[in-house]
Amino acid sequence: LSVGQLEEARRALDAPLFADVAGDCAVSFEFFPPKNEKMEATLWQSVETLTPLNPRFVSVTYGAGGSTRERTHATVARIARETPIPAAAHLTCVEASRAEIDAVAEEYWAAGVRHIVALRGDMPTPGAKFEPRPDGYENAAALVEGLRRLHPFELSVAAYPEAHPDSVDQAADLDNLKRKLDAGASQAITQFFFEAETFFRFRDAAAAAGIKAELVPGIMPVTNFAAVQRMSAMCGTDVPQWMGRLFEGLDSLPDARQLVSATLAAELSRKLYAGGVRHLHFYTLNRAELSYAICHLLGLRPQPGEARVAA
């Protein structure tokens, strides 16, 4: 290292942590539909906690095979009705005809929901190859096209910094992403990943493939390391070895795990911010505090009086 580089490294180490963030990063939060009253209360508390941070939108997932169709709808509609935050509904093509999917989208439009996260989805049996219905949408690009024809929805799609497991290679995966954007989606939210470099390489490759739309990193704060390892294996996300070491011995120490988790996700978010990212999407797992803490470290503060959940 040159003297100049050493001095720069020393300055970076001496700078107060998170001093380089300006609180100007947009955020969005993802929830899943609750299964029972207790989970519903937790979810709603989380929405209330995170709403004052004025997220760009909050989204609600759609269970495998459309299994949460009613619950997703009820949750999204309630958010749209009772909070000032734009609500986005996830929608998949699995085991439904085009007419059925269009009917769900029409219900969203009627409920005032203007943003859909359009996905292909996965078969209800884990690991089973995706089989489109003959009368259904064959993939997310076809779904985007179908939704575009219905109403001027804002449409988001999924992107995969480490390539989707079904794709031949990254180039084919990027072609697929481009098709979804060209069909009418305005942004792509990424699968979770754990190294900022993974996202930066992906962003460069997407730009080289002619993709101009915003790529929004999906941040998964890890609360249950074993579960995240299982999920990562299924979706092709690399779990770096150093991360395993950081969670070692913490199985019976949930508070310590939370602290480690917040530190890692905040550090990843800070690096992404330093690399120019100005919108982060948090997989909240319906728990507000972790995502709130990370946003706080990024300089976000409640907007008094602006964003209030209806009493």
Only one residue has tokens 């988790």, namely 261
What tokens were used for 195? 């190294």
54 close to 299: Cβ distance less than 8 angstroms: no
Tokens at 284, concatenated: 């909240």
- Reading the block at residue 230, the tokens are 């299982």
Instruction: In whole angstroms, give the CA distance from residue 297 to residue 264.
Output: 12
Task: Give the interface segment with ligand FAD, choosing from 40-48, 158-166, 195-203, 294-302 (CB under 6 A).
Answer: 158-166
User: Please, how many CA atoms are within 13 Å of residue 233, restricted to the half-sphere of its CB?
Assistant: 7
The residue among 191 and 258 lying less far from ligand FAD, judged by its C-beta, is: 191
Cα–chain center distance at 4: 39
Stated length of the chain: 311
Q: How far is the CB of 209 from ligand FAD (least distance, A)?
A: 13
* Pairing assessment for the beta strands 87-92 and 115-119 based on DSSP bridges: parallel
121 binds ligand FAD (CB under 6 A): yes
Select which of 8, 30, 107, 197 is catalytic: 30
The C-alpha angle 284, 36, 72, rounded to 5 degrees, equals: 60
Site for ligand FAD in 74-103 (CB under 6 A): 90, 92
Figure out which of the listed residues 61, 232, 284, 286 binds ligand FAD, where binding follows CB under 6 A. Answer: 61
CB 121 within 8 A of CB 65: yes
Please give the C-alpha separations between residue 232 and each of 28, 32, 190, in angstroms, as whole numbers: 22, 18, 13
Select 160 or 247, whichever has its Cβ closest to ligand FAD: 160
Of the two residues 103 and 171, which places its CB atom closer to ligand FAD in the complex?
171
User: What values do phi and psi take at 216, rounded to 5?
Assistant: -100, 115
Does position 119 bind ligand FAD by CB under 6 A? yes
Which residue number, 122 or 262, has a Cβ lying nearer to ligand FAD? 122
Span of 18-26, 120-128, 237-245, 247-255 interacting with ligand FAD by CB under 6 A: 120-128
The distance of closest approach from Cβ of residue 167 to ligand FAD in the complex, given in angstroms and rounded to an integer, is: 3
Paired residues of 192 in beta bridges: 218
Residue 51 binds ligand FAD, judged by CB under 6 A: no
Span interacting with ligand FAD, options 14-22, 59-67, 220-228, 240-248, rule CB under 6 A: 59-67
Shorter beta-carbon distance to ligand FAD: residue 50 or 260: 50
Part in contact with ligand FAD (CB under 6 A); list of ranges 8-16, 103-111, 168-176, 194-202: 168-176
Q: Is 30 a catalytic residue?
A: yes
Tell me which residues are annotated as active site: 30
Task: Report the interface residues with ligand FAD, using CB under 6 A.
Answer: 61-62, 64, 90, 92, 117, 119-122, 139-140, 158, 160, 164, 166-167, 172-173, 176, 180, 189, 191, 218
